[in-house]
Amino acid sequence: MATATKGTIGILTGGGDVPGLNPAIRAVTVRALREGYRVVGLRRGWGGIIDVVRDKKHDNSNNFVELTQTVVDRAARTGGTFLHTSRTRPSHTHKDRVPEHLKDSYSEEYNDMTPEVIKNLEWIGIDYLITIGGDDTLSYSVHLFRQGVNVNAIPKTMDNDVPGTDYCIGFSTCVTRTIHMTNNLRTSAGSHERFMVLEVFGRYAGFTAMLPTMAGAANRCLIPEHPFEIEHLTELMVADRRNNPSNYSICLVSEGAMFEGGEMMFENAERDAYGHAKLGGIGDMVSAKLKELSPKFNKGQSINNITQKLGYLVRCGDPDAIDSIVPMAYGTMALDLILRGIHGRLVVLKNGRYDHVPIEVVTATKKLVNVSKHYDVDKYHPIYRDFEMLPLFIMASES
Protein backbone atom coordinates (compact mmCIF):
# COMPACT_ATOMS: atom_id res chain seq x y z
CA MET A 1 0.00 0.00 0.00
CA ALA A 2 1.31 3.44 -0.93
CA THR A 3 3.01 5.64 1.65
CA ALA A 4 1.31 8.97 2.28
CA THR A 5 3.20 12.21 2.85
CA LYS A 6 1.96 12.94 6.34
CA GLY A 7 1.32 9.44 7.65
CA THR A 8 -1.42 6.84 7.91
CA ILE A 9 -4.56 6.99 10.05
CA GLY A 10 -6.34 3.80 11.06
CA ILE A 11 -10.06 3.77 11.94
CA LEU A 12 -11.99 0.98 13.63
CA THR A 13 -15.47 0.41 15.03
CA GLY A 14 -16.04 -2.03 17.89
CA GLY A 15 -18.91 -3.39 19.95
CA GLY A 16 -22.56 -3.12 18.94
CA ASP A 17 -23.60 -1.41 15.72
CA VAL A 18 -25.51 1.88 15.80
CA PRO A 19 -26.62 4.41 13.19
CA GLY A 20 -23.99 7.14 12.81
CA LEU A 21 -20.82 5.06 12.60
CA ASN A 22 -20.44 5.45 8.84
CA PRO A 23 -20.85 9.26 8.93
CA ALA A 24 -18.04 9.39 11.53
CA ILE A 25 -15.78 7.25 9.34
CA ARG A 26 -16.53 9.50 6.38
CA ALA A 27 -15.77 12.69 8.32
CA VAL A 28 -12.33 11.42 9.33
CA THR A 29 -11.51 10.03 5.90
CA VAL A 30 -12.53 12.93 3.68
CA ARG A 31 -10.72 15.53 5.76
CA ALA A 32 -7.65 13.34 6.28
CA LEU A 33 -7.27 12.69 2.55
CA ARG A 34 -7.49 16.41 1.83
CA GLU A 35 -4.79 17.04 4.44
CA GLY A 36 -2.45 14.54 2.77
CA TYR A 37 -2.91 11.47 4.97
CA ARG A 38 -3.56 7.89 3.96
CA VAL A 39 -6.55 6.28 5.70
CA VAL A 40 -6.97 2.59 6.46
CA GLY A 41 -10.19 1.02 7.71
CA LEU A 42 -9.53 -1.77 10.19
CA ARG A 43 -12.19 -4.43 9.76
CA ARG A 44 -14.16 -6.15 12.54
CA GLY A 45 -12.86 -3.94 15.33
CA TRP A 46 -10.00 -5.37 17.35
CA GLY A 47 -10.75 -8.77 15.78
CA GLY A 48 -9.40 -7.76 12.40
CA ILE A 49 -6.15 -6.49 13.88
CA ILE A 50 -5.55 -9.72 15.78
CA ASP A 51 -6.05 -11.77 12.62
CA VAL A 52 -3.48 -9.91 10.50
CA VAL A 53 -0.75 -12.12 9.03
CA ARG A 54 2.44 -10.09 8.70
CA ASP A 55 3.35 -11.42 5.26
CA LYS A 56 3.06 -9.29 2.11
CA LYS A 57 2.03 -12.37 0.15
CA HIS A 58 -0.90 -13.09 2.48
CA ASP A 59 -4.39 -11.79 1.63
CA ASN A 60 -5.33 -9.50 4.54
CA SER A 61 -8.25 -7.88 2.75
CA ASN A 62 -10.61 -9.27 5.37
CA ASN A 63 -8.66 -7.44 8.07
CA PHE A 64 -8.02 -3.97 6.65
CA VAL A 65 -8.78 -1.86 3.60
CA GLU A 66 -7.54 1.46 2.24
CA LEU A 67 -10.33 4.04 2.33
CA THR A 68 -11.18 6.47 -0.46
CA GLN A 69 -13.69 9.29 -0.68
CA THR A 70 -15.83 7.27 -3.08
CA VAL A 71 -16.10 4.40 -0.62
CA VAL A 72 -16.96 6.53 2.42
CA ASP A 73 -19.35 8.87 0.58
CA ARG A 74 -21.51 5.93 -0.46
CA ALA A 75 -21.47 4.33 2.98
CA ALA A 76 -22.07 7.49 5.03
CA ARG A 77 -25.78 7.63 4.23
CA THR A 78 -26.41 4.19 5.70
CA GLY A 79 -26.68 2.70 9.16
CA GLY A 80 -24.40 0.18 10.83
CA THR A 81 -20.68 0.07 10.04
CA PHE A 82 -19.35 -0.94 6.64
CA LEU A 83 -16.05 -1.83 8.35
CA HIS A 84 -17.98 -4.40 10.41
CA THR A 85 -17.50 -4.91 14.13
CA SER A 86 -16.85 -7.48 16.84
CA ARG A 87 -16.69 -7.77 20.62
CA THR A 88 -13.03 -8.76 20.69
CA ARG A 89 -10.86 -8.04 23.74
CA PRO A 90 -7.19 -8.45 22.73
CA SER A 91 -5.91 -8.29 26.29
CA HIS A 92 -8.06 -11.31 27.25
CA THR A 93 -8.21 -13.45 24.11
CA HIS A 94 -9.57 -16.95 24.65
CA LYS A 95 -7.38 -19.71 23.22
CA ASP A 96 -10.17 -20.67 20.79
CA ARG A 97 -10.03 -17.15 19.34
CA VAL A 98 -6.24 -17.06 18.85
CA PRO A 99 -5.43 -17.09 15.09
CA GLU A 100 -4.01 -20.34 13.78
CA HIS A 101 -0.62 -18.85 12.95
CA LEU A 102 -0.18 -17.65 16.55
CA LYS A 103 -1.39 -20.68 18.50
CA ASP A 104 2.15 -21.84 19.27
CA SER A 105 2.93 -18.50 20.91
CA TYR A 106 -0.38 -18.00 22.75
CA SER A 107 -1.61 -21.23 24.32
CA GLU A 108 -3.02 -20.10 27.69
CA GLU A 109 -6.74 -20.22 28.43
CA TYR A 110 -6.76 -16.41 28.08
CA ASN A 111 -3.97 -14.50 26.34
CA ASP A 112 -2.83 -10.90 26.20
CA MET A 113 -2.29 -10.30 22.51
CA THR A 114 -1.49 -6.61 22.86
CA PRO A 115 2.08 -7.18 21.57
CA GLU A 116 0.60 -8.62 18.35
CA VAL A 117 -1.84 -5.73 18.03
CA ILE A 118 1.00 -3.22 18.26
CA LYS A 119 3.19 -5.15 15.82
CA ASN A 120 0.31 -5.48 13.36
CA LEU A 121 -0.50 -1.77 13.51
CA GLU A 122 3.16 -1.01 12.82
CA TRP A 123 3.27 -3.55 9.98
CA ILE A 124 0.19 -2.04 8.32
CA GLY A 125 1.85 1.34 8.73
CA ILE A 126 -0.62 2.94 11.15
CA ASP A 127 0.79 6.11 12.67
CA TYR A 128 -2.43 7.30 14.30
CA LEU A 129 -5.45 5.33 15.47
CA ILE A 130 -9.04 6.55 15.83
CA THR A 131 -11.33 4.14 17.66
CA ILE A 132 -15.13 4.43 17.66
CA GLY A 133 -16.90 2.45 20.35
CA GLY A 134 -18.48 2.11 23.76
CA ASP A 135 -16.80 1.69 27.11
CA ASP A 136 -15.48 -1.80 26.29
CA THR A 137 -13.85 -0.86 22.98
CA LEU A 138 -12.59 2.40 24.44
CA SER A 139 -11.22 0.80 27.61
CA TYR A 140 -8.83 -1.17 25.41
CA SER A 141 -8.03 2.07 23.58
CA VAL A 142 -6.89 3.44 26.96
CA HIS A 143 -4.68 0.37 27.37
CA LEU A 144 -3.11 0.89 23.92
CA PHE A 145 -2.51 4.58 24.57
CA ARG A 146 -0.65 3.67 27.74
CA GLN A 147 1.45 1.31 25.62
CA GLY A 148 2.53 4.23 23.43
CA VAL A 149 0.04 4.02 20.55
CA ASN A 150 -1.23 7.37 19.24
CA VAL A 151 -4.94 6.90 19.93
CA ASN A 152 -7.91 9.27 19.91
CA ALA A 153 -11.45 8.03 20.50
CA ILE A 154 -15.05 8.74 19.53
CA PRO A 155 -17.89 7.66 21.90
CA LYS A 156 -20.54 5.37 20.45
CA THR A 157 -23.34 3.52 22.18
CA MET A 158 -27.10 3.70 21.98
CA ASP A 159 -27.16 3.34 25.79
CA ASN A 160 -25.42 6.76 25.99
CA ASP A 161 -23.37 5.55 28.96
CA VAL A 162 -19.76 6.40 28.01
CA PRO A 163 -18.39 8.62 30.82
CA GLY A 164 -17.10 12.10 30.12
CA THR A 165 -19.61 12.99 27.39
CA ASP A 166 -23.27 14.01 27.37
CA TYR A 167 -23.78 12.33 24.00
CA CYS A 168 -22.75 9.08 22.31
CA ILE A 169 -23.36 8.28 18.64
CA GLY A 170 -26.52 6.20 18.19
CA PHE A 171 -28.51 7.50 21.16
CA SER A 172 -30.76 9.97 19.33
CA THR A 173 -31.80 7.44 16.69
CA CYS A 174 -32.49 4.89 19.44
CA VAL A 175 -34.72 7.31 21.35
CA THR A 176 -36.47 8.44 18.15
CA ARG A 177 -37.19 4.84 17.11
CA THR A 178 -38.35 3.88 20.61
CA ILE A 179 -40.84 6.75 20.71
CA HIS A 180 -42.07 6.00 17.19
CA MET A 181 -42.53 2.26 17.73
CA THR A 182 -44.13 2.73 21.15
CA ASN A 183 -46.64 5.15 19.66
CA ASN A 184 -47.38 2.68 16.86
CA LEU A 185 -47.84 -0.21 19.27
CA ARG A 186 -50.19 1.74 21.54
CA THR A 187 -52.98 1.28 18.97
CA SER A 188 -52.93 -2.45 19.71
CA ALA A 189 -52.71 -1.86 23.46
CA GLY A 190 -55.71 0.45 23.31
CA SER A 191 -57.73 -1.80 21.03
CA HIS A 192 -57.42 -4.67 23.51
CA GLU A 193 -57.41 -2.53 26.70
CA ARG A 194 -54.17 -4.07 27.89
CA PHE A 195 -50.94 -3.32 29.67
CA MET A 196 -48.03 -2.93 27.27
CA VAL A 197 -44.50 -3.79 28.43
CA LEU A 198 -41.64 -2.92 26.09
CA GLU A 199 -38.10 -4.09 26.85
CA VAL A 200 -35.31 -1.81 25.60
CA PHE A 201 -31.51 -1.93 25.71
CA GLY A 202 -29.70 -0.57 28.78
CA ARG A 203 -27.44 -2.91 30.76
CA TYR A 204 -26.30 -0.60 33.54
CA ALA A 205 -27.80 2.75 32.57
CA GLY A 206 -31.47 3.58 31.99
CA PHE A 207 -31.21 6.50 29.57
CA THR A 208 -32.90 4.61 26.71
CA ALA A 209 -35.97 4.02 28.88
CA MET A 210 -35.93 7.41 30.61
CA LEU A 211 -35.87 9.75 27.61
CA PRO A 212 -38.78 8.16 25.66
CA THR A 213 -40.83 8.10 28.87
CA MET A 214 -39.94 11.72 29.53
CA ALA A 215 -41.14 12.50 26.00
CA GLY A 216 -44.53 10.92 26.78
CA ALA A 217 -44.14 7.54 25.09
CA ALA A 218 -44.81 5.57 28.30
CA ASN A 219 -46.47 5.98 31.68
CA ARG A 220 -43.71 4.29 33.67
CA CYS A 221 -40.13 3.13 33.15
CA LEU A 222 -37.89 0.69 35.02
CA ILE A 223 -34.15 1.35 35.03
CA PRO A 224 -31.07 -0.58 36.22
CA GLU A 225 -30.09 2.12 38.71
CA HIS A 226 -33.09 1.51 40.99
CA PRO A 227 -34.72 -1.89 41.77
CA PHE A 228 -38.51 -1.88 41.49
CA GLU A 229 -41.26 -3.36 43.64
CA ILE A 230 -43.60 -5.25 41.31
CA GLU A 231 -46.77 -4.94 43.39
CA HIS A 232 -46.37 -1.17 43.58
CA LEU A 233 -45.72 -1.03 39.83
CA THR A 234 -48.91 -3.04 39.22
CA GLU A 235 -50.94 -0.61 41.33
CA LEU A 236 -49.55 2.34 39.33
CA MET A 237 -50.16 0.65 35.98
CA VAL A 238 -53.75 -0.24 36.87
CA ALA A 239 -54.39 3.38 37.88
CA ASP A 240 -52.80 4.63 34.63
CA ARG A 241 -55.00 2.28 32.63
CA ARG A 242 -58.12 3.36 34.49
CA ASN A 243 -57.34 7.06 33.89
CA ASN A 244 -56.70 6.54 30.17
CA PRO A 245 -59.84 7.03 27.98
CA SER A 246 -58.61 4.12 25.80
CA ASN A 247 -58.08 1.93 28.88
CA TYR A 248 -54.39 0.91 28.51
CA SER A 249 -51.03 1.77 30.08
CA ILE A 250 -47.40 1.41 28.97
CA CYS A 251 -44.16 0.59 30.78
CA LEU A 252 -40.64 0.74 29.26
CA VAL A 253 -38.22 -1.71 30.90
CA SER A 254 -34.43 -1.48 30.58
CA GLU A 255 -32.90 -4.90 29.95
CA GLY A 256 -30.78 -4.44 33.10
CA ALA A 257 -33.69 -3.53 35.40
CA MET A 258 -34.06 -5.67 38.52
CA PHE A 259 -36.87 -6.72 40.81
CA GLU A 260 -36.40 -5.51 44.37
CA GLY A 261 -34.16 -8.11 46.01
CA GLY A 262 -33.47 -9.76 42.64
CA GLU A 263 -30.71 -9.76 40.02
CA MET A 264 -30.32 -9.05 36.31
CA MET A 265 -31.93 -11.60 34.01
CA PHE A 266 -29.91 -13.32 31.28
CA GLU A 267 -30.88 -15.24 28.16
CA ASN A 268 -28.13 -17.79 28.80
CA ALA A 269 -24.79 -18.26 30.57
CA GLU A 270 -22.67 -17.50 27.51
CA ARG A 271 -20.45 -14.44 27.92
CA ASP A 272 -18.69 -12.18 25.44
CA ALA A 273 -14.99 -11.25 25.50
CA TYR A 274 -15.64 -8.55 28.10
CA GLY A 275 -17.46 -10.94 30.45
CA HIS A 276 -20.97 -9.71 29.63
CA ALA A 277 -23.74 -12.30 29.46
CA LYS A 278 -26.59 -11.52 27.06
CA LEU A 279 -29.41 -9.87 28.95
CA GLY A 280 -33.04 -10.62 28.22
CA GLY A 281 -36.28 -11.77 29.76
CA ILE A 282 -37.02 -9.03 32.26
CA GLY A 283 -39.80 -7.65 30.05
CA ASP A 284 -41.52 -11.03 29.86
CA MET A 285 -41.22 -11.51 33.62
CA VAL A 286 -42.61 -8.06 34.41
CA SER A 287 -45.48 -8.68 32.02
CA ALA A 288 -46.34 -12.02 33.62
CA LYS A 289 -46.26 -10.59 37.15
CA LEU A 290 -48.42 -7.60 36.15
CA LYS A 291 -51.09 -9.95 34.84
CA GLU A 292 -50.84 -12.14 37.92
CA LEU A 293 -51.12 -9.25 40.39
CA SER A 294 -53.59 -7.05 38.46
CA PRO A 295 -56.80 -8.53 39.98
CA LYS A 296 -55.76 -7.16 43.38
CA PHE A 297 -56.10 -3.59 42.06
CA ASN A 298 -58.71 -4.14 39.35
CA LYS A 299 -61.76 -5.42 41.26
CA GLY A 300 -60.66 -9.02 40.88
CA GLN A 301 -60.32 -8.88 37.11
CA SER A 302 -57.07 -9.92 35.41
CA ILE A 303 -55.53 -7.58 32.81
CA ASN A 304 -53.80 -9.07 29.78
CA ASN A 305 -50.55 -7.80 28.32
CA ILE A 306 -48.81 -6.97 25.09
CA THR A 307 -45.10 -7.68 25.52
CA GLN A 308 -42.48 -6.66 22.97
CA LYS A 309 -38.68 -6.60 22.99
CA LEU A 310 -37.66 -3.67 20.78
CA GLY A 311 -34.04 -4.83 20.70
CA TYR A 312 -32.22 -4.43 17.39
CA LEU A 313 -35.13 -2.56 15.79
CA VAL A 314 -33.93 0.63 17.49
CA ARG A 315 -30.27 0.23 16.46
CA CYS A 316 -30.67 -0.74 12.80
CA GLY A 317 -31.32 1.38 9.72
CA ASP A 318 -30.28 4.90 8.78
CA PRO A 319 -29.21 7.56 11.31
CA ASP A 320 -31.50 10.46 12.19
CA ALA A 321 -30.40 14.10 11.84
CA ILE A 322 -28.50 14.24 15.14
CA ASP A 323 -26.72 10.96 14.43
CA SER A 324 -25.67 12.35 11.07
CA ILE A 325 -24.43 15.71 12.35
CA VAL A 326 -22.73 14.74 15.62
CA PRO A 327 -20.62 11.92 14.06
CA MET A 328 -19.49 14.38 11.38
CA ALA A 329 -18.36 16.81 14.09
CA TYR A 330 -16.76 14.07 16.21
CA GLY A 331 -14.84 12.69 13.24
CA THR A 332 -13.63 16.15 12.25
CA MET A 333 -12.52 16.86 15.82
CA ALA A 334 -10.61 13.58 16.02
CA LEU A 335 -8.73 14.54 12.86
CA ASP A 336 -8.11 18.05 14.24
CA LEU A 337 -6.41 16.48 17.26
CA ILE A 338 -4.08 14.49 15.02
CA LEU A 339 -3.22 17.62 13.03
CA ARG A 340 -2.32 19.35 16.30
CA GLY A 341 -0.21 16.43 17.50
CA ILE A 342 -2.56 15.66 20.38
CA HIS A 343 -3.28 12.04 21.36
CA GLY A 344 -5.00 10.16 24.15
CA ARG A 345 -8.23 12.18 23.95
CA LEU A 346 -11.94 11.37 23.80
CA VAL A 347 -14.02 13.79 21.72
CA VAL A 348 -17.19 14.76 23.59
CA LEU A 349 -20.25 16.94 23.84
CA LYS A 350 -20.47 18.74 27.19
CA ASN A 351 -23.25 21.20 27.99
CA GLY A 352 -24.04 21.63 24.31
CA ARG A 353 -20.42 22.30 23.30
CA TYR A 354 -17.97 20.09 21.44
CA ASP A 355 -14.78 19.43 23.38
CA HIS A 356 -12.27 16.69 24.18
CA VAL A 357 -11.17 15.12 27.48
CA PRO A 358 -8.48 12.63 28.53
CA ILE A 359 -9.35 9.17 27.21
CA GLU A 360 -8.72 7.74 30.70
CA VAL A 361 -12.11 9.09 31.81
CA VAL A 362 -13.61 5.99 30.16
CA THR A 363 -12.09 3.70 32.79
CA ALA A 364 -12.05 6.15 35.70
CA THR A 365 -15.77 6.40 36.34
CA LYS A 366 -19.28 5.27 35.35
CA LYS A 367 -22.07 7.20 33.63
CA LEU A 368 -25.47 6.36 35.09
CA VAL A 369 -28.81 8.05 35.59
CA ASN A 370 -28.63 10.37 38.59
CA VAL A 371 -31.62 8.85 40.36
CA SER A 372 -32.02 11.55 43.01
CA LYS A 373 -32.04 14.27 40.34
CA HIS A 374 -33.92 12.68 37.45
CA TYR A 375 -35.95 9.60 38.57
CA ASP A 376 -38.98 9.50 40.85
CA VAL A 377 -38.42 6.27 42.80
CA ASP A 378 -42.01 6.21 44.06
CA LYS A 379 -43.72 6.86 40.73
CA TYR A 380 -41.25 4.98 38.47
CA HIS A 381 -41.01 7.77 35.96
CA PRO A 382 -38.69 10.73 35.24
CA ILE A 383 -38.73 13.92 37.30
CA TYR A 384 -40.08 16.83 35.27
CA ARG A 385 -38.49 19.94 36.76
CA ASP A 386 -35.36 22.09 36.92
CA PHE A 387 -34.37 21.77 33.24
CA GLU A 388 -32.81 25.23 33.05
CA MET A 389 -29.22 25.12 31.69
CA LEU A 390 -29.34 21.34 31.21
CA PRO A 391 -28.05 19.86 27.91
CA LEU A 392 -30.23 18.78 24.98
CA PHE A 393 -30.94 15.29 26.36
CA ILE A 394 -31.39 16.52 29.96
CA MET A 395 -29.19 13.95 31.73
CA ALA A 396 -25.53 14.96 31.49
CA SER A 397 -22.37 13.04 32.32
CA GLU A 398 -21.42 13.76 35.91
CA SER A 399 -17.68 13.40 35.15
- What percent of the chain clears pLDDT 70, i.e. is strictly above it? 95
Q: What pLDDT score was predicted for residue 399?
A: 67
With residues binned 3-state (H G I as helix, E B as strand, rest as coil), the percentages for the chain, rounded to 5, are 35, 20, 45
At residue 215, does pLDDT exceed 80? yes
Angstrom distance (rounded) from CA 344 to CA 145: 6
Q: What pLDDT score was predicted for residue 143?
A: 96
Residues 6+ apart with CB under 8 A from 70: none
In terms of Cβ atoms closer than 10 Å to its own Cβ (0-12, 13-18, 19+), residue 61 is: exposed
Residue ranges of domains in the chain, CATH in brackets? 8-169+317-364 (3.40.50.450), 173-314+371-382 (3.40.50.460)
CB-based contact 349:326 (threshold 8 Å): yes
Angstrom distance (rounded) from CA 198 to CA 181: 10
Phi, psi of 160 (to 5 degrees): 60, 35
Write the DSSP assignment of 226-245 as a string of letters: S-B-HHHHHHHHHHHHHHST
Angstrom distance (rounded) from CA 144 to CA 132: 14
- How many residues would you count in the chain? 399
**pLDDT confidence tier of residue 1, bands split at 50, 70 and 90:** very low
Q: What pLDDT score was predicted for residue 265?
A: 74
Angstrom distance (rounded) from CA 297 to CA 239: 8
pLDDT one-digit tens code per residue, 79-121: 999 999 999 999 999 999 999 999 999 999 999 999 999 999 9
| Residue 116 parent element (H or E) | helix 114-124
Number of other residues whose CB lies within 10 A of the CB of residue 164: 25
CB-based contact 161:205 (threshold 8 Å): yes
Q: State the catalytic residues.
A: 159
pLDDT one-digit tens code per residue, 268-315: 656 655 555 667 689 999 999 999 999 999 999 999 999 999 999 999
CB-based contact 142:360 (threshold 8 Å): yes
Angstrom distance (rounded) from CA 131 to CA 138: 7
Write the DSSP assignment of 144-159 as a string of letters: HHHTT--EEEEEB-TT
Q: Strands 151-155 and 128-133: what pairing? A: parallel
At residue 45, does pLDDT exceed 70? yes
Q: What pLDDT score was predicted for residue 372?
A: 95
- The pTM of this model reads 0.93
Angstrom distance (rounded) from CA 207 to CA 218: 14
Q: What pLDDT score was predicted for residue 270?
A: 62
Both ends of the chain: CA-CA distance in Å? 42
pLDDT one-digit tens code per residue, 224-276: 999 999 999 999 999 999 999 999 999 999 999 999 998 877 766 566 555 55
